[in-house]
Amino acid sequence: MSAYFIRLISTLGHLVTSRIDRLGLVARFAGLLLVSLRIALGRLSLIFREVYFSGVRSLSIVAVSGLFVGMVLAVQGYEVLQRYGSAESLGVIVALSLVRELGPVVTALLFAGRASSAVTAEIGLMRATEQLAAMDMMAVDPISRVVAPRFLAAVFSMPFLAAIFSTAGVIGAWIIGVKLIGIDDGAFWSQMQANVDVRIDVLNGLVKSIVFGTSVGLISVFEGYFAAPTAEGIATATTRTVVISSLSVLLLDLLLTVMMFRGLS
């Protein structure tokens, strides 16, 4: 009985300390990354290349998803709004949901699955095949040459992708609401224009997507950089990137939303 209890305690303790160890590793890695950003920012061509691979290639999935989400919001929103006779507010509801929440959050989730997982696999494979070691031996720091551009690409791409998601969503809602259901076109847009605030809504949405980009980007390069140099290790790391990124995005969204929108009304 007591032996079992001690085992339980030590297993729990190990679980906790290993998590803390890993957090420490993340912090140290983030420090190194931060220091290398200055060098990395001096080589924009490397960052553009990664923005192309991560960001530009996620455009279509983000735009199409945004369109669908906007359409769904319009259908659901209209159903509720017309009960209160305020169907013209559809544009506002959809735009606010997208700009404040769904744009940054869903984009970050899509990005984690589409782009960050690939970054993790790529860096993990470069480590496993000693490409990072070879680079290090040629006096080229893998963190500023390989890791930092991929991280920055996530940070830069995310706000643009979120904006595209929201735009596509508004267009989707307009197609459903105005073209199909027949809400007044002028009311749809003017209400939206009058009630979406640049600072409260757009700027806060932007801040969110930059925070998500930082978090998803950091997780993807960290998991890749410390992946065990085996096929299994890379597979595990890729999965971890998607799972941990998604959870962190949702948690951060909760925190940011509380901070930004609490006590507004």
Partner 1 sequence: MTSFHESEMIALKDVCFSYADRPILNGIDLTIKRGEIIAIMGGSGGGKTTLLGLIAGRLKPQSGSVLVNGFEVPKLRQTELYGLRRKIGMLFQFGALFTDLNVFDNVAFPYREQTNLPEEMIRTLVLLKLEAVGLRGAKDLMPAELSGGMARRVALARAVALDPSVMLYDEPFTGLDPISVGIIGRLIKRLNRALGMTSVIVTHDLNETLRLVDRVVVLSQGKIHRDMAPEEIRSTDDPFIRQFADGLPDGPVPFHYPGRDYWSELMGQ
49 versus 187: smaller Cβ distance to partner 1: 49
Evaluated on CA atoms 114, 63, 43, 248, the torsion sign reads negative
- Residue 137 in contact with partner 1, rule: CB under 8 A: yes
239 touching partner 1, by CB under 8 A: no
| 165 CB-near residues (< 8 Å, 6+ apart) | 62, 63, 65, 66, 69, 98, 102, 103, 106, 107
Could you say whether residue 39 binds partner 1 (CB under 8 A)? no
- Nearer to partner 1 by Cβ, of 125 and 207: the residue is 125
63 versus 147: smaller Cβ distance to partner 1: 147
Taking contact as CB under 8 A, which single stretch among the options 88-96, 121-129, 187-195, 215-223 is the one that binds partner 1? Answer: 121-129
**Judged by CB, which is closer to partner 1: 32, or 164?**
32
Q: Which CB sits closer to partner 1, 69 or 126?
A: 126
Closer Cβ to partner 1, 101 or 136, answer by number: 136
Binding mask 139-178 for partner 1 (x = CB under 8 A): xxx---x---------------------------------
SS (H, E, C) the chain: CHHHHHHHHHHHHHHHHHHHHHHHHHHHHHHHHHHHHHHHHCCHHHHHHHHHHHHHHHHHHHHHHHHHHHHHHHHHHHHHHHHHCCHHHHHHHHHHHHHHHHHHHHHHHHHHHHHHHHHHHHHHHHHHCCHHHHHHHCCCCHHHHHHHHHHHHHHHHHHHHHHHHHHHHHHHHHHHHHHHHCCCHHHHHHHHHHHCCHHHHHHHHHHHHHHHHHHHHHHHHHHHHCCCCCHHHHHHHHHHHHHHHHHHHHHHHHHHHHHHHCCCC
Contact between 226 and partner 1 by CB under 8 A: the answer reads no
Residues 6 or more apart whose CB falls under 8 angstroms from that of 238 comprise 117, 120, 121, 124, 223
Contact between 3 and partner 1 per CB under 8 A? no
Number of residues in contact with partner 1 under rule CB under 8 A:
15
Output phi, psi for 190, to 5 deg: -70, -40
Site membership for partner 1, residue 129 (CB under 8 A): yes
Find the shortest distance in angstroms from Cβ 160 to partner 1.
24
Of the pair 88, 141, the CB lying nearest partner 1 is at 141
Options 65-73, 133-141, 165-173, 233-241: segment touching partner 1 (CB under 8 A): 133-141
* Selected binder of partner 1 within 64, 72, 114, 136 (CB under 8 A): 136
Taking CB under 8 A as the rule, does residue 131 contact partner 1? Answer: yes
Q: How far is the CB of 236 from partner 1 (least distance, A)?
A: 21
Nearer to partner 1, 125 or 256 (CB): 125
In the complex, which residues of this chain contact partner 1 (CB under 8 A)? 125-126, 129-131, 133-141, 145
